[in-house]
Amino acid sequence: MSLASLRRAAPARPGPAPASGREPARRERSRIERALLKKVGKAVADFDMIAAGDRVMVCVSGGKDSYALLDALRILQRRAPIAFELVAVNVDQGWPGYDTAVIAEHLAATGVPYHMIDRDFASVVEANLAPGATPCSLCSRLRRGVLYNLAVELGCHKIALGHHADDLIETLLLNLLYSGKIASMPARLVSDDGRNTVIRPLAYVPESLLIEYRDQRAYPVVRCGCPSCGLPEQKRQVVKRLLTSLEADDPGIKHHMLAALGNVKPSQLLDRALAAGGAGRTPSHGELSTPDTSHPHAPSSPAAVAGGGEVS
């Protein structure tokens, strides 16, 4: 049995009425949370992300997206007609200033079993990165390997990442503008070796809703510590600003772009393999989730494993 019935999950029973002064804030949080859960539940159901008996490894970086992901899955876990487990994981990549103690304290308060993992990506990156290059692509590959192996060690069937709708849209544009291909991040993906299944339950959730939820929950957000994270000259930031400008001029553009990812017309493209009537070659995990950094004008900030720079 899958988790498709989450879309019809009954809301939690209301508790005692709060003091009148708190009622508007309570209603507002309830509105935001309902909107978040509706979109997460739909994505989980649409892509059959979670099944009975699954053990789901939730990657928590300390950013708003991964905190919200964990909370949404915790709520759905309580309401679901099937049983599944959650395990939270944080990976410290060795960058100075990354305050994992704050993240550990937050995870402990949730009651979800969690693991804090230390890896020295920073030294590896500094030793292997070409002058003037950004570390995002190399970090992403290193992180992916750690998460894939850790999921097997922990007996986890699924790896839940915090990429949201804006990340999917931005990656589509990054690939289109800088890598010469039409690709984004899949909501559900089986790894090349078949050992792991990656899921993105926030695929339908706009970042604006996550910002509202972060503010309501007062999450203890921790910056990743990477010196390249969020630099304005990075291509992902360039694309983010472009989308913000387009959305301001014509509200709904991002919604239409997200819809386009589920409304592909292969016969109207120039892919010769598709035109020949076959499915063509199957894109690899890297092609589906990150722009091709071998291109001379490739983005300096390809998609990382967990939401616009939010990683683990």
List the one residue out of 116, 121, 75, 72 whose CA is nearest residue 95.
121
* pLDDT per position as a tens digit, 98-151: 999 999 999 999 999 999 999 887 778 777 777 766 777 777 788 888 999 999
Mean pLDDT across the chain: 83
Residue 69 has pLDDT above 60, yes or no: yes
- CB count in 10 Å sphere of residue 209: 19
Report domain extents, the chain.
27-289
Q: Which tokens is 265 given?
A: 């017309």
Q: Which residue has the tokens 């507002």?
A: 28
- CB count in 10 Å sphere of residue 113: 12
To the question of pTM greater than 0.75 for the whole model, the response is yes
Residue 91 has pLDDT above 90, yes or no: yes
Better-predicted residue by pLDDT, 85 or 272: 85
- CB count in 10 Å sphere of residue 167: 29
Q: Count CA within 13 A, CB hemisphere, residue 276.
A: 7
Q: Return the pLDDT at 122.
A: 75
Pick the CATH number of 27-289 from 3.40.50.620, 3.40.50.720, 3.50.50.60, 3.30.9.10: 3.40.50.620
